[in-house]
Amino acid sequence: MTKPHVDGGYSASVSIRSGRGMASIDRVMRFVPSFPNRRDALRYAADEGTAWARCH
């Protein structure tokens, strides 16, 4: 996910859901770096989310 900044940059975040029903958990990671465009922010979020999923 991305969010545009007022200054024109973008922030990145990723949401990872696991489980089902009442036992589901949604982890949201918001990243500090600011990116010049939406594509770079999405790529960073996808890479970080994939790395986290592989470790857990």
Residues 10-50 pLDDT 10s: 999 999 988 998 999 999 999 999 999 999 999 999 999 99
Distance CA 44, CA 41 (A): 5
Beta strands 2-4 and 25-30: pairing type?
unpaired
Which residues lie across from 34 on neighbouring strands?
none
pTM, 2 dp: 0.79
Residues 22-33 pLDDT 10s: 999 999 999 999
Mean pLDDT for the stretch of residues 1-11? 93
Beta strands 25-30 and 10-18: pairing type?
antiparallel
pLDDT given at position 48: 94
pLDDT level of residue 7 (50, 70, 90 thresholds): confident
